[in-house]
Amino acid sequence: MAFLQLKGVEKMFGALRAIKGVDLSIEKGEFVVFVGPSGCGKSTLLRMIAGLTEIDGGSLQLDGRDITRLPSSKRDLAMVFQSYALYPHMSVADNMSFALRLANVDKKIIEEKVGRAAQILNLTPYLQRTPKELSGGQRQRVAIGRAIVRAPKVFLFDEPLSNLDAALRGQTRVEIAKLHRDLGATTIYVTHDQVEAMTLADRVVVLRDGAIEQVGSPLELYDRPANQFVAQFIGTPQMNVVDTAKLPALRAVVGATGAADGYIGVRPEKVMVRAAGTGQLAGRVELVESLGADTLIYANVGSNGDGSGVQLVARQAARTELRPGDPVGLDIAPASFHLFDRQGQAVALRAA
Amino acid sequence: MKHLALILRTVAAWLVTLLIVFPLIWLVLTAFKTEQQAISIPPQLFFTPTMESFAEVNLRSDYLHYAANSVITSIVSTVLGLAIAAPAAYSMAFFRTRKTRDILMWMLSTKMMPAVGALVPIYVMAQTAGLLDSRTALIVVFTLSNLPIMVWMLYSGFKDIPPDILEAARMDGASVWGEFLHVIRPLAMGTLASTALLCLVLSWNEAFWSLNLSSSRAGTLATLIASYSSPEGLFWAKLSAASLMAIAPIVVVGWFSQKQLVQGLTFGAVK
């Protein structure tokens, strides 16, 4: 039996079925990330696990106990909110110890636990300050500290980094990963940022329109996406997905191994830019993005100069002198295709 | 030119202030006059103050009895009102539905009807329940008539508290009561205090219902004042003395809590 088990969990907002029967098992100690575009229901699902949003159908079990109808206060879960949701009238120490004080834990033990959490999170000098006197990053750490001191069964994170600036976000992401490694606590983390999902998760749950699209380790999702949505959601820049009808030349490159009709997907790093006149496909450069470590080359393929072609993105480490308008050749790395049928479902590659 | 405008504005402000305060000043002056001085024409601005009227009022009626009624009815109705209005405002502020706004408007609309409109039914109800001239009847009516304003004030105060903070408290293991005690109460202290104070003042000054539902037994200070405008004629000095004694406690309370009141009314603005 899994540690946390969702069975056919449903949520209705009026007539709208916001969460459509989600089944999911989470093991003890796992770091699971819910990811998906905005409005996919990932936060709603997290709030349902937290008990902040009522579950309208299905069941939720934690550690062998049915908690579907249990109020949040009795679920023994801790949550870190996007807005931090610190108690503005309490000091940092009081914020972190609130749950323990409610539970009438001995004062000595509280002091010790808060002290240790503060040390882990570098908050010791700020314990007597109020949240107002802290920076965004520090507030975020207090919110995490508030969760840590309780040693709850599951940590829930609701887009905890989205209010931080880019540099701090990366830094805090690393800290959260380290924290999970050190504490080994079961964690569910919601984000719309697929980089966070890829870097933090043991397993990623990709959601769309209130239903799970795919569950798997980050690289499983990257290498073997179950459908076109997952294929394009995971990875930057997006996977090139081309309608076979629009670019017969690509179909020829794939050869007889592919589905006759549908979509062909290729990751940008599997598209190689060659000199004009060579390579499997001929195209014309539309845009070059030089990011330093990476260079992205957007090429239009299969057009007769009327813009009717298909755009393919190539990603390479080497820098380039190419300018928009330059003719280029493109090679596709062998056995790097993803095939999707007309419904967007992945189709197995048959050996050539 | 600018200087002149400032002077004019200052003079105007003082005139308006004087206009507002004059009856109160006159009340205080009259309270220390004899009945003859009180009705003398032209009115006397300078006279030898006397406590005669106060002594007379104390002799003729039991001030402490009425004062006690006022204190009890206003305090109990305030406490009762808070106990009912706070949960109502909590649910409306944090568990909004599409009808919340309508319910709030409906509550407020009950204050738009003149009280006289409800006099007969309420009088009959109090009579049937055997509660005429009882503090219970006054407490119930005061509480009910203050509830809409209390709910509104608390609602707008609670609305400023981010709901995330309450959810965080819930996740931390707080019950509904715990949420209220540890999060809402400290964060909305200003609102709670100013609401209580307003309710206290309104109940203390309430005259319509206390005059109609009570007399000698449960009568509040408002009925005491009214008893000095008797059919035998107006006794201005005694009326003023009684009035002064009636309003003194609430003025003192208001004076001391002025700072809290202002703070309470502006607290939500500073985040």
Residues of B whose CB is below 8 A from A87: 165, 168-169, 182-183
pLDDT of residue B59: 80
pLDDT of residue B184: 93
How close, in Å, is residue B162 to chain A by CA atoms?
8
Higher pLDDT, residue A351 or B241? B241
Higher pLDDT, residue B209 or B271? B209
Same domain assignment for residues A201 and A259: no
Residues of B whose CB is below 8 A from A102: 172-174, 178, 182
Q: Is the pLDDT of residue A256 over 60?
A: no
DSSP string, B149-217: HHHHHHHHHHHTS-HHHHHHHHHTT--HHHHIIIIIHHHTHHHHHHHHHHHHHHHHH--HHHHHH-STT
Ordered alpha helix ranges (H), chain A:
42-50, 92-102, 107-120, 136-148, 166-183, 194-200, 218-223, 228-233, 248-254
pLDDT of residue B271: 39
Query: Looking at the complex, does the CB of residue B96 fall below 8 Å from at least one CB of chain A?
Result: no
Examine the fold and report which residue of A206, A232, A258 is the final residue of a domain before the chain moves on: A232
Instruction: Give the residues across from A332 on adjacent strands.
Output: A271
Interface test with B, best of A47, A102, A142 (most B CBs within 10 A): A102
Same domain assignment for residues A245 and A121: no
Examine the fold and report which residue of A232, A257, A281 is the final residue of a domain before the chain moves on: A232
- Would residue A352 count as lying in a domain? no
Per-domain residue ranges of chain B: 62-227
pTM: 0.82
Average pLDDT over residues B186-190: 87
Q: Is the pLDDT of residue A270 over 50?
A: yes
Same domain assignment for residues A206 and A112: yes
Band of residue A257 on the pLDDT scale cut at 50, 70, 90? low
How close, in Å, is residue A264 to chain B by CA atoms?
44
Same domain assignment for residues A38 and A112: yes
Band of residue A65 on the pLDDT scale cut at 50, 70, 90? very high
Average pLDDT over residues B34-55: 80
- Are A281 and A330 in contact by the 8 Å Cβ rule? The answer is yes
Topology of the domain covering B62-227? MetI-like fold (1.10.3720)
| Average pLDDT along chain A | 90
- Would residue A159 count as lying in a domain? yes
Residues of A whose CB is below 8 A from B187: 88-89
Examine the fold and report which residue of A177, A207, A232 is the final residue of a domain before the chain moves on: A232
Of the candidates B222, B218, B190, B192, the residue with the CA atom closest to the CA atom of residue B204: B222
Same domain assignment for residues A208 and A61: yes
Same domain assignment for residues A285 and A213: no
Residue B109 has a CB neighbour count (10 Å cut-off) of: 10
Interface test with A, best of B96, B167, B172 (most A CBs within 10 A): B172
How close, in Å, is residue A54 to chain B by CA atoms?
13
Same domain assignment for residues A116 and A172: yes
User: Residue written as tokens 């239903």?
Assistant: A211
How close, in Å, is residue B169 to chain A by CA atoms?
8
Give A 107-166 residues with CB within 8 A of chain B: 146, 150, 156
Query: Looking at the complex, does the CB of residue A81 fall below 8 Å from at least one CB of chain B?
Result: yes
- Would residue A124 count as lying in a domain? yes
Query: Looking at the complex, does the CB of residue B49 fall below 8 Å from at least one CB of chain A?
Result: no
Band of residue A239 on the pLDDT scale cut at 50, 70, 90? very high
Return the residue of B nearest to A86 by Cα: B165
pLDDT digits (tens, 9 = 90+) for B206-225: 888 888 888 888 888 888 88
Q: How many domains does chain A have?
A: 2
pLDDT digits (tens, 9 = 90+) for B8-27: 999 999 999 999 999 988 88
Of the candidates A204, A239, A233, A206, the residue with the CA atom closest to the CA atom of residue A219: A204
Q: Is the pLDDT of residue B269 over 60?
A: no
Same domain assignment for residues A95 and A214: yes
- Would residue A136 count as lying in a domain? yes
pLDDT digits (tens, 9 = 90+) for B221-262: 888 888 877 666 677 888 888 888 888 888 888 888 777 666
Same domain assignment for residues A55 and A153: yes
Residues of B whose CB is below 8 A from A52: 167, 170-171
Quick check: B173 and A50 CB within 8 A? no
pLDDT of residue A252: 75
- CATH code of the domain containing A261: 2.40.50.140
Interface test with B, best of A53, A62, A73 (most B CBs within 10 A): A73
Which residue among A72, A86, A103 places its CB closest to the CB of B171? A72
Q: Is the pLDDT of residue B73 over 90?
A: yes
Contacts for A111 with CB less than 8 Å, ≥ 6 apart:
none
Residues of A whose CB is below 8 A from B95: none
pLDDT of residue A304: 59
pLDDT of residue A3: 93
pLDDT of residue B163: 92
Residues of B whose CB is below 8 A from A160: none
Same domain assignment for residues A151 and A212: yes
For residue A290, the enclosing domain spans 238-347
Q: Is the pLDDT of residue A63 over 50?
A: yes
ipTM: 0.85
Quick check: A73 and B183 CB within 8 A? no
Same domain assignment for residues A81 and A41: yes
Instruction: Please tell me the distance from the alpha carbon of residue B168 to that of residue B181, in angstroms, as a whole number.
Output: 14
pLDDT of residue A6: 95
Contacts for A103 with CB less than 8 Å, ≥ 6 apart:
B173
A38 SS3 class: coil
How close, in Å, is residue B187 to chain A by CA atoms?
7
Quick check: B173 and A81 CB within 8 A? no
How close, in Å, is residue B39 to chain A by CA atoms?
58
pLDDT digits (tens, 9 = 90+) for A158-169: 999 988 888 888
- CATH code of the domain containing A139: 3.40.50.300
Q: List strand residue ranges (DSSP E) for chain A, in order.
A: 4-13, 16-26, 31-35, 57-62, 65-66, 77-80, 154-158, 186-191, 203-208, 211-216, 240-243, 263-266, 271-274, 281-290, 295-301, 310-316, 327-332, 337-340, 346-347
Same domain assignment for residues A193 and A280: no
pLDDT of residue A349: 64
Return the residue of B nearest to A80 by Cα: B168
